[in-house]
Chains A and B, each alone.
Chain A
Amino acid sequence: MSTAFPMHISRRFMKVWHRNLIVYQKTWKINFLPPLLEPLFYLVAFGVGLAALVGNIIYEGFEVSYVFFIAPALIAINIMYNAFFENTYASFVRMYYQRTFDAMMATPLNLPEVITGEIFWGATKSMIATAIMQTIISAFGLIQYPTGLLMVPLAFLGGIAFGSIGMFFTGIVATIEMFNLPIFLFVTPMFLFSGTFFPLENLPIWAQKLATILPLTHLVKLTRAFSFGIIEAGLLWSIGYLLLFCLVFFPLAIYKMERRLIK
């Protein structure tokens, strides 16, 4: 890039965020369904079906029921899914098929603002989904309060982290089908191996170490702590890791999108 093209991000990015909110509101009833129903499906399948086989689980010295164990993980997974899918498939459609970003760039907005608005929107979706899921799960008495309320701001942080990496992939994939690759190699392993459905301690030591690289591991650790009501200093490491993840992938996502779109 030759001339001074602006990396400056002003508050105008909220206009892009707001555009997505308007579209979301049009079909809010449908948008509310997955976070409403999904926890029910999981809780019935795992809590009633699988829990009979699993019994109770020892987590950090506490014995907890299996449903209690997985409920916060379901929230963490949804935080990841909402932001990641919003900033991959949905953003790609807006960028590539609908040319929405091109139109926005003929206004006082610049590309970093468009991308920031998109990522903040993805994080907002994570937050909305978390609030809905949390309400449902709380009805079963599976979340402790007031610490459970911390999951909403946490959803935003996690949303920025997973949205940024999603947007990074949007910046580099050639076609929309290629998102299968990061989903298969990155999202699915995280879904399974981040201490979601069984304690990490069940894995061999090397695998446990590997799992600490995965951002979902930290997100699950945090949702679980907030949901169990166990707040300790060690959680700061997990928050720090998610922040670091944002600090790396957020600018990287903008950089890749600029490389892709600014010609």
Chain B
Amino acid sequence: MPYIVEAKGLNKTFGDLVAVDGISFHILPGECFGILGPNGAGKTTTIRIIYGFSPMTGGSLKVFGLDASRQWRTIKSRIGVCQQENNLDPDLTVQQNLEVFARYFDIPRKEARQRTKRLLAFIALQHRKDAKVIELSGGMMRRLVLARALINDPELLILDEPTTGLDPQSRHQVWERLEELRSKGLSILLTTHYMDEASRLCDRLVIVDHGQILVEGRPMDLIRQHVGHDVIEVAEPSKELQDFVNAQRMEHEDLGHRLVIYDREGEKMFRTISNEYCNEGCILRMATLEDVFLKLTGRGLRE
């Protein structure tokens, strides 16, 4: 099966800064592929290269089996992009935003009108079709950006942090739409720094940092592999507990006021620890992608 995206040794430098440092990955048809990473890890730069906004400094890139540096126009006509900023056209109404965008893709007027109608229903904004963009809420705007990215019936949907800044209700709205699209077989490329979003939507993902891929795999596999099933968190750990954890050679992270133990032995170990080393502030929870992420990219602030 041909890959939707095939990136080999993708490289991007801005002067002295290496933003993308030899990234290789591929996306299968119908797959939702995630690129995760802290701010400044090179996520946005990578996808900008894929949708033809930024020229790459080195490496090779094929989208739909086409050479990205030569057949950019064909590629761009077959992908849909939700950029990070809301760059809806404030001079136009909701409906016009979709119809004018359709023109950029050479979609005939009548067809554009039909698609606009269908997409407005899909994002539940029919009733606001004549509204100005600035009158919409953040969640509505995001849904409109999503609809706009679908106007050309893309074979690949690229989403750069699709739910950043949204309230929980709006996030779930967007997720439901994306899940619906995925179930219809649309290939999706997504960047995010929300781990719940990635776990929920992505079939496969990479975690990148400093322009390089740290790990690649299915969310569940990555959790099992790097953290295990469970995590024990202890607030204000005692000296005895730290000695115990060290003696048992358990994987853990010492955050000073907090101890995170990657527990591979299940509940038994939790009982031992909670009974013998702490009275309260000790919890057992399922390991999440966030544990993997923090373990791999560290806890230092990225600013």
Task: Enumerate chain A interface residues (CB-CB to B < 8 A).
Answer: 1-6, 12, 15, 18-19, 22-23, 26, 98-100, 102-110, 262-263
Q: Is the CB of B92 within 8 A of A22?
A: yes
Is B72 part of the binding interface, using a Cβ–Cβ cutoff of 8 Å? yes
Label chain A's interface by main secondary structure.
loop
Chain A residue at minimal CB-CB distance from B86: A99
Give min CB distance, A31 to chain B, whole Å: 13
Q: Is the CB of A15 within 8 A of B104?
A: yes
Chain B residue at minimal CB-CB distance from A111: B53
- Size category of the B interface is 35 or more
CB within 8 Å for A22 and B100 given contacts A2-B57, A3-B69, A108-B73: yes
Chain A residue at minimal CB-CB distance from B106: A108
CB within 8 Å for A23 and B76 given contacts A15-B103, A18-B103, A104-B104: no
Listed by A's residue number, 29 A-B pairs whose Cβ atoms lie within 8 Å are A2-B57, A3-B55, A3-B56, A3-B69, A4-B55, A5-B55, A98-B87, A98-B91, A100-B89, A102-B53, A102-B83, A102-B85, A103-B83, A103-B89, A105-B52, A105-B53, A106-B51, A106-B76, A106-B149, A107-B101, A107-B104, A108-B104, A108-B105, A108-B106, A109-B104, A110-B72, A262-B55, A263-B48, A263-B54
What total of A-B pairs shows CB separation below 8 Å?
79
Alpha-carbon distance between A45 and B137 when the two chains are bound, in angstroms: 49
Give min CB distance, B191 to chain A, whole Å: 14
Chain A residue at minimal CB-CB distance from B145: A103
Is B96 part of the binding interface, using a Cβ–Cβ cutoff of 8 Å? yes
**Which single member of A6, A15, A263 contacts B72 (CB below 8 Å)?**
A6
Q: Which B residues between 50 and 66 are near A, CB-CB below 8 angstroms? A: 51-58
Chain B residue at minimal CB-CB distance from A261: B53
Alpha-carbon distance between A18 and B52 when the two chains are bound, in angstroms: 23
Chain B residue at minimal CB-CB distance from A26: B91
Is B77 part of the binding interface, using a Cβ–Cβ cutoff of 8 Å? yes
Alpha-carbon distance between A108 and B76 when the two chains are bound, in angstroms: 5
Alpha-carbon distance between A103 and B87 when the two chains are bound, in angstroms: 6
Q: Is the CB of B89 within 8 A of A263?
A: no
Q: Is the CB of A107 within 8 A of B70?
A: no
Q: Is the CB of A99 within 8 A of B104?
A: no
Task: Enumerate chain B interface residues (CB-CB to A < 8 A).
Answer: 14, 48, 51-58, 69-70, 72-73, 76-77, 81, 83, 85, 87-92, 96, 100-101, 103-106, 148-149, 152
**Which single member of B55, B89, B149 contacts A2 (CB below 8 Å)?**
B55
Give min CB distance, A124 to chain B, whole Å: 16
Alpha-carbon distance between A1 and B57 when the two chains are bound, in angstroms: 8
Alpha-carbon distance between A213 and B56 when the two chains are bound, in angstroms: 41
Give min CB distance, B215 to chain A, whole Å: 28
Which residues of A have CB within 8 Å of B100?
Answer: 18-19, 22
**Which single member of B55, B96, B103 contacts A1 (CB below 8 Å)?**
B55
**Which single member of A4, A15, A104, A263 contacts B69 (CB below 8 Å)?**
A4
Q: Is the CB of A2 within 8 A of B83?
A: no
Give min CB distance, A122 to chain B, whole Å: 16
Q: Is the CB of B51 within 8 A of A98?
A: no
Give min CB distance, B27 to chain A, whole Å: 18
Chain B residue at minimal CB-CB distance from A14: B103
Alpha-carbon distance between A19 and B100 when the two chains are bound, in angstroms: 7
Alpha-carbon distance between A241 and B289 when the two chains are bound, in angstroms: 65
Alpha-carbon distance between A102 and B104 when the two chains are bound, in angstroms: 13
Give min CB distance, A27 to chain B, whole Å: 9
Alpha-carbon distance between A26 and B92 when the two chains are bound, in angstroms: 9
